[in-house]
Structure 1
């Protein structure tokens, strides 16, 4: 197991800068009452900086575990750190100006800012794809850890790709572009205009679909799935079943499949113009099916016969603990 001193340093430095920006943005939220596109002007820098702290730390840790291709991984992580920093500088700069950063086509300068962000996001996505490819090629000793990271990286890439969908102009905006009057190009809302009634804290739309929900769910698979494995390892000394590496691997695969299904569900819901908090019968039925499949998969994984001896790192006393399934 790696220590934090072996983690990717440029990503650690970027995460530290985002932690500082989180505090600065929080102060901005408290003292600056300006509103842009229906949200406090410092809300986007705050939200993005918190997200980037988690994202950068996750990648920094994963890169430290690569047994091979470490140089390629270092360059990939460095590109992620640099392009992410550029994006955050632009987002924060627009917030300080009281202007929207995303989809802004109002002035040549605003358009140049968003076009630059679009380029940095493409480069960032490509660098993350490289890291995901390295994780798939790496032969890590613990298969559960390997698959938690691999699935997390793939889902994060898929979630990030929704940003490209949001950047596409709506039919109404296409008409405005033809007339040369489009101040905004792109949207996260589906079936509603951006900036309408929204949920507290997240700012997600409450009257229509919102692709930012799926974007968020996909990106943070990079933290959720490894954390799920961490919980399994933490509980292993107390529960015999979890002391078996094969059981942990199967539970991780169930978690990956369940998370992917939830991501697909919220994406489908948003594309149908449906708010997260107002699901219809089809959405509820799909959610129930996901829960049932997850429960069945978990039960099947826990029914696996434990191996005769505990894996390395789990004490023999684990076999004296309670079993999750009789």
Structure 2
């Protein structure tokens, strides 16, 4: 019965959504595989050249892609622009993970690395891809924060809070890239690699609010909880998530 329901839900997805889910699953599988490579290789987990980056980028980008494909179904927007934005986001996720992965196998840093023509091309592609990611996600976030969201009150609250925290993720991501690029050019690559990622705690915590909060609303609804109770639970979870994000920000800044 579970397999029949899953197959029916998969068929109900639009083609671009099915592609996004499939690509997201493959990216997450890539992250798992590279974690296995890390265990077998016995190399360092931290540092600019490590198996941590293809592992975490594969898992994070894959999960985020699946999440965005799901939560954008609740946005009130024309199907064609959504399909285009989701398609661009899917391709961009592949680009980002592929660039990180190629550099990991080449045993050279991925970000800020312009030491050779190949590394310069990959670093440029990653930077341009990051800019595209920001444009796409901000476009979705603006629609959500303007109230153009369908669903019960608890789900609307969860989506607006999730997209709002995702904007914080984008800000911290851009700040880390900008800081690293400046330090790489003005001081040294070593300083850039050691200090550019200082905002990773808040970046990582805020990133997945867009999954956690709407998922809570959907699960409570599936359990048959009344809407007022669901709304209070989501509101409490939102404040707790904001508190966790503030704590992560303090850790990042100190």
Shared fold, TM over 0.5? yes
Query: Hey, what does 1:211 align to over in structure 2?
Result: 199
Aligned residue among 213, 237, 245 for 1:255: 237
Q: Closer, same or farther in 2 for the Cα pair 1:216/1:170, shift >3 Å? A: closer
Deviation at 1:169, TM superposition (A): 3.6
Q: 1:131 aligns with which of 129, 134, 140?
A: 140
Contact 1:45 1:95 in 2 (8 A): yes
Tell me if structure 2 keeps the 8 A contact 1:19–1:53: yes
Give the 5 Å matches for 1:68-87. 68-87=77-96
Alpha-carbon distance in structure 1 between the residues aligned to 2:43 and 2:194 = 21
Aligned partner of residue 141 in structure 1, secondary structure:
coil
Q: CA deviation at 1:30?
A: 3.0
| Correspondent of 2:154 among 128, 139, 144 | 144
Alignment of 1:103-182 (within 5 A): 103-136=112-145, 137-169=147-179, 174=183, 177-178=185-186, 182=188
Structure ID, larger Rg: 1
Q: Following the alignment from structure 2 to structure 1, what is the Cα–Cα distance between the partners of residues 194 and 246?
A: 17
SS at match of 1:88: helix
| Distance in 1 of aligned mates of 2:153 and 2:172 | 29
TM value normalised by structure 2? 0.82
CA RMSD of aligned residues (A): 2.9
Change (3 A) 1:268 1:105: farther
For 1:19 and 1:151, locate their aligned partners in 2 and report how far apart those are by CA, in whole Å.
Answer: 25
Task: Indicate the SS of the match to 2:189.
Answer: coil
Q: Which of the two has greater helix per residue?
A: 2
2:202 and 2:245 in contact (8 A); partners too: yes
CA distance in 2, matches of 1:253, 1:78: 32
Aligned equivalent of 1:280: none
Matched, 1:25 2:34: yes
Match 2:251 to one of 266, 269, 284: 269
Write the distance in 2 (CA, Å) between the matches of 1:31 and 1:187. 25
TM-score normalised by the chain length of structure 1? 0.65
Structure 2 Cα separation of the partners of residues 182 and 260 of structure 1:
35
Q: Which runs of 5+ in 1 are unaligned?
A: 195-209, 237-241, 273-326
Cα distance 1:134–1:71, how it changes in 2: closer, same or farther (>3 A)? farther
Give the paired residue count: 243
2:9 match: 3
